[in-house]
Structure 1
């Protein structure tokens, strides 16, 4: 009998492995790129990477298509036919950059607001915002305003952080995990791994979503809610927990503004001469600052000063949420959830949080100087994203969810929701939005931020919007990430003003058009009576021939993510875990086979040609040769740059001198850096002085920043007061009623405005 030929059952698929960071979604997993004869042969997960620990989804594995796609742009393009015709001619980079400078320089010298610079999900916002700020335009933002700004802003204002990049469940200890409005999500692999981990030990998963797909398909209990009513459901849970007394009173008294007194006349919080929020000490009965050593804040404290009696935030909450309008029977029809089911879920949350509470033998010291011998665990955690935030009532809905987990005492405790460095960060230490334009000079500060009252709105002297997207105006006061989806329509309408140049990166119009692609095409191709385009100039950068390319006047071809340097930075959107600060890079595992350049490197070149501060040396020469040079040598604050790892001689983390070998060290380490939080500092982060001091050492804070969770958000009350007629800055009359309704300092629910358009 003829013998069978031997088969190689494990053929070698590569002759080299290069480790970098995936870019097929926003999860930013570590990947091993298998190379064979200088080409990408296969992509798998990096088992050493903190984000995915080797797990990689089908999208990540399909990254090879990025470098093989026939739709990749191959050279700079100049439009030679009408917009939309696809008629271009290839030009050199020198000609392309000269053309860009020719469009941008007059705008900067005459009126920088005439440039609208908006980017998509590019993950380099600390850099692109730095460029835009030095150009001087107020018109900059990125993807966030189109996605989950309600979730992020609500979280920052309420507790100093939110879900996804801001924090994660305590997968090691949680026993009940509840998801609201989550499909595959941005954090897909870690969530999948986490759900697998907790289900393996018998934890329960509850999914709240109108449809049972994705994570809801593996949930133990699926709640098919009516879209847009999540906030009403959540407040019914709050109603039941308060009614049953199943809330963490000590947690609320020590770590939130529940005991802080509300001025009976103004609705603002009572403060001392230093601006610190005031509570009543239940031991002495005295009015005192919240952070005083030994103070025991009284949740039911009151203070009288003549005719007025000021009550605590907690009493206002009790009065509101025990109202029958939030009872399960009252909300059942609107939410599509039976009253019995609402009660059962509330009871389950309470049972796990309080009857399955546990302790860790880990001492820690709080911001009042009090030492605690143990850490109390409440094994209930939540996760949510765009599903509940992408409604016109989404901001208050997200706030309601944060209030729910705070009432249970499950934020920053073992078993609950945990912040990832550089969070938590209270809204007070974030920048405020800036919009002062000076011809030929930088903007007066960062574009995006958190307003604390009408005085912080981005308005001109005449009260009109300072930004083309109308972010930070009476219409959209707390739009922390900007409103990029409004840019094209506003620019076309000339409302609030006309622009000269629209400069976009990774912002494909079909993705950025409010479900109105044909309408956007009309806006981009519309001409005035003289035959000139209404939006005069469009510069666009993309790696592919997307829909937006056909409507650009100048196309700057980008590289794919496997052909360039990128920085996933602590200054921006890092890859941290709850127990560690972490950041990462991408680097060119292959060289492009086309005449293309990484967009960030192009901005370095344009910045120098335009003589932008921050991009030129004192002698006028180009400061950064390319983006890699910027990543290593840029100093945002003394000792702090885009990357936290391997600073100084390679042995410094967070703060340290520039290390010229930093990128090489990252590559040697698999493309990432991790610095673990010391034991005893990894829970109770907003109040734990060991964490606060570690964060200062890492450069996350300039000084310790302990704070109270803001169940009652005072800036919202300031906007209400303006709508009531108080203060110098007043809203337009047609917006007064809406502001008074929607900007309540305690979470409320109202039907989404969009329901009236259906």
Structure 2
């Protein structure tokens, strides 16, 4: 028997066997006969009742047993608008769809003046994770009341307490664990928020005054909090008087935030104007598969492809979303080599004069506006090559005009972006010329070898960007940021947008159109009478301060001691060093914490090396962290070691994004 006949025979036997085995099921399905538990509808099974009905004139009206409410999805960081169907009798949500008024869920989102009934058949979309919000909301393990441990930390023994007891014990402190079976906790005199706040004017350590005040011993460690939570958390910590207010950032993509913030004046997120762009490059992220908001970028990028936009994804993994259209392209780099690709693009743009020279030559906002621009850069600003700092005269930046004269930046409309010269014996060069020197330090062949991408493809990327001009956009996300060289790579990628001058132009790059001010509204929460000054002191993670500026360093130097190494690393430039919080508390360097609050946060699970047995053993010891509070929707991997856990609201159970 040949192979073909054997396979045909085997397939036939399989079909016959399967058909015989399932013949009863097929018969019942075809005849719709009853079997097993009865269902509500013979044809539709246990499908829900619909929330909308057509009235006698063909208009939609809400069904008597239902209502619809609008809220915000918090299943991820995208905050897409939701419309939820609520059963009036049970008070429970039965269905989640997209809010048709929200731009995340519909490209042609509905005008806010449109009646809700007119949107019944034209709702927005929600991804699978958003639809799972019902499962999250009604999770049987979700906390319904505050819990307090009655055994040792991590032992899994809890009792339910009232909100009043939770507040009283965490605020007033004292021997709040005298009722537990843990001998190490029974006589522990815990400091509550009240005791710390009473010492808000008392230094932690007089020998090290830069540590700040006792209130800094309250540490709030949060996970991926949304903007409203972030603003509320910052306001609470500032009012209490602690600098130790953290997000998850450095275990996610801190280099992305720092690189973007350095280029775009403190703005940490920039997105392509997808539906209007003609040529887009995505480094380390694929629209429709990743990034925020995922479902929105998927819809918008599909719309862009239909309109003829070219989309290229630079990623070692082939994304599914670039396999479906001739307008999508995949560049496969060697892992961690994205910077070489960005440098090659910049080199080609500069060499071919494919960048926006006119835009870069405007040295001030006033001169930029006179020529129809909406922003300006420091491309023409002169740098002292010896110090690496911008050259100034009477506090003003210096530039060179077209005749080589060095003048203050605000005295001319057009500056020479490639000037190199001297002033008072000091060698000067423009920012742009230094960028040019940097990207020309290696050949295209060298960039190709480093990245694993052919020279022709590198040049094709640059030519596509140049041709599209301001309707080009280059974006990146985690893929390129989670390397030791993530900051430099991100900085280089951002420079492509800068030299094209595409920021806030149609089809270019945008930092967003703004949003609700969570500190505003009926009251300006930043202007309340009696507000205390911003808290002062050294973060427990030793960030945003150099070790060499510390009293410890100076004291060791004065005593003739070698000040190096410090007990733990210092981070003078970066911030939100989430991974250093727990190790610093355990080491007591620079100081210990009296209260640690985990909000929507599971560091023992999410932070590299923090889930080690020795770390967990320390966290389990109340002498290391006297009061450990967890705020989450369940008792999780980390909150299992807390002293007390209390619930927070989750998606669909709170208005807007405030929780």
User: Following TM superposition, by how much is the alpha carbon of 1:561 offset from its aligned partner in structure 2, in angstroms?
Assistant: 2.9
Q: Quick check: 1:272 aligned with 2:393?
A: yes
SS across alignment from 1:562: coil
Q: What's the CA shift string for 1:514-565, capped at 9, x where partnerless?
A: 26534476254454xxxx5422321111111211221001112222232234
Secondary structure at 2:154 match in 1 = coil
The 3-state SS of whatever aligns with 1:157 is helix
Looking at structure 1, the residues matched to 280 and 462 of structure 2 have their Cα atoms a distance apart, in angstroms, of 13
Q: For residues 214 and 497 of structure 1, do their structure 2 counterparts lie closer, same or farther at Cα, with a shift above 3 Å needed?
A: farther
2:261 alignment partner, one of 156, 163, 167 = 156
Relative to 1, partners in 2 of residues 1:20 and 1:526: Cα closer, same or farther, differing over 3 Å? closer
TM-score, L = length of structure 2: 0.70
SS at match of 1:134: helix
Structure 2 residue 66 is matched with structure 1 residue 15: yes
**Which digits, 9 at most, give the CA deviation of each residue in 1:435-465, with x for residues without a partner?**
xxxxx976436999xx9x987899644359x
> 1:105: how far off?
2.3
Distance 1:447 1:216 in 2: 47
Retained in 2: the 8 A contact 1:513–1:520?
Answer: no
Q: 2:493 matched to 1:401?
A: yes
Q: Is residue 129–residue 446 contact of structure 1 (8 Å, CA) maintained in 2? A: no
Which residue of the partner structure matches residue 193 of structure 2? Answer: 104
Partner of 1:234: 342
**Is the contact between residue 15 and residue 34 of structure 1 (CA under 8 Å) also seen in structure 2?**
yes
How far apart are the structure 2 equivalents of 1:243 and 1:412?
A: 25
Alpha-carbon distance in structure 2 between the residues aligned to 1:35 and 1:131: 34
Any gaps of 5 or more consecutive residues in structure 1?
354-377, 424-439, 465-472, 566-584, 588-597, 599-758
User: Contact (CA 8 Å) 2:544, 2:573: kept in 1 or not?
Assistant: no
Q: For residues 144-543 of structure 1, what are the structure 2 equivalents within 5 Å?
A: 144-160=249-265, 166-183=269-286, 184-213=290-319, 215-217=321-323, 220-254=328-362, 255-273=376-394, 275-282=395-402, 285-292=404-411, 294-302=412-420, 304-324=422-442, 327-353=443-469, 378-422=470-514, 443-444=534-535, 460-463=550-553, 475-480=570-575, 482-514=576-608, 516-519=610-613, 522-525=616-619, 527=621, 533-543=623-633
Mark the structure with the bigger radius of gyration.
2
Choose from 242, 248, 257 the match for 1:143: 248
- Aligned mates of 2:156, 2:322 — CA distance in 1: 43
Q: CA deviation at 1:59?
A: 0.8
CA distance in 1: counterparts of 2:423 and 2:267, whole angstroms: 38
CA distance change for structure 1 residues 491 and 218 in 2, over 3 Å: closer, same or farther? farther
Distance 1:459 1:91 in 2: 46
Aligned-partner Cα distance in 1 for 2:320–2:127: 13
Query: Cα distance, 1:79 vs. partner?
Result: 1.0
Alignment of 1:659-674 (within 5 A): none
Q: Give the secondary-structure state (helix, strand or coil) at the position aligned to 2:422.
A: strand
Q: Residue 393 of structure 2 aligns to a residue in which SS?
A: coil
* Residues 1:322 and 1:253: Cα distance change in structure 2 (over 3 Å): same
Give the Cα separation in 1 of the matches to 2:144 and 2:507. Answer: 51
Structure 2 residue aligned with 1:78? 148
Deviations 1:147-173 (A, max 9, x none): 23221221121122556xx33222342
SS in 2 for 1:117: strand
Q: How far, CA to CA, are the matches of 2:100 and 2:461 in structure 1?
A: 37
- Check the 8 A contact 2:334/2:450 in 1, yes or no: yes
Residues 67 and 445 from structure 1, CA distance in 2 versus in 1: closer, same or farther, beyond 3 angstroms?
same
Change (3 A) 1:217 1:136: farther
CA distance in 2, matches of 1:136, 1:421: 32
Q: Report the CA distance between 1:228 and its aligned residue.
A: 1.7
Structure 2 residue 85 is the aligned partner of structure 1 residue 30? no
Q: CA RMSD in A?
A: 3.2
- What SS does the aligned partner of 2:303 have? helix
What whole-Å deviation, never above 9, does each CA across 1:163-188 have from its counterpart, x for those lacking one?
6xx33222342111111111511221
Instruction: Give the Cα separation in 2 of the matches to 1:60 and 1:459.
Output: 48
Aligned mates of 1:446, 1:221 — CA distance in 2: 50
User: In structure 2, what is the equivalent of residue 470 of structure 1?
Assistant: none
1:65 equivalent in alignment to 2:171: no
Return 5+ residue gaps in structure 2 as ranges. 1-32, 34-40, 52-64, 107-123, 174-191, 200-213, 363-375, 516-530, 555-567
1:215/1:498 CA distance change after superposition, 3 Å: farther
- Which of the residues 165, 175, 183 maps onto 1:95? 165
CA contact (8 A) 1:328 1:338 kept: no
3-state SS of paired residue (2:638): helix
Whole-Å separation in 2 of the counterparts to 1:386 and 1:6: 49
Deviation at 1:414, TM superposition (A): 2.5
User: CA offset at residue 146 of structure 1?
Assistant: 2.7
1:456–1:291 CA distance, 2 compared to 1 (3 A): farther
1:398, distance to aligned residue in structure 2 (A): 0.7
| Distance (whole Å) between structure 2 residues aligned to residue 10 and residue 135 of structure 1 | 49
Whether contact under 8 Å (1:169, 1:383) holds in the other structure is yes
Give the aligned partner of residue 131 of structure 1.
Answer: 236
Counterpart for residue 358 of structure 1 = none
Asked whether the 8 Å contact 2:546–2:570 carries over to 1, the reply is no
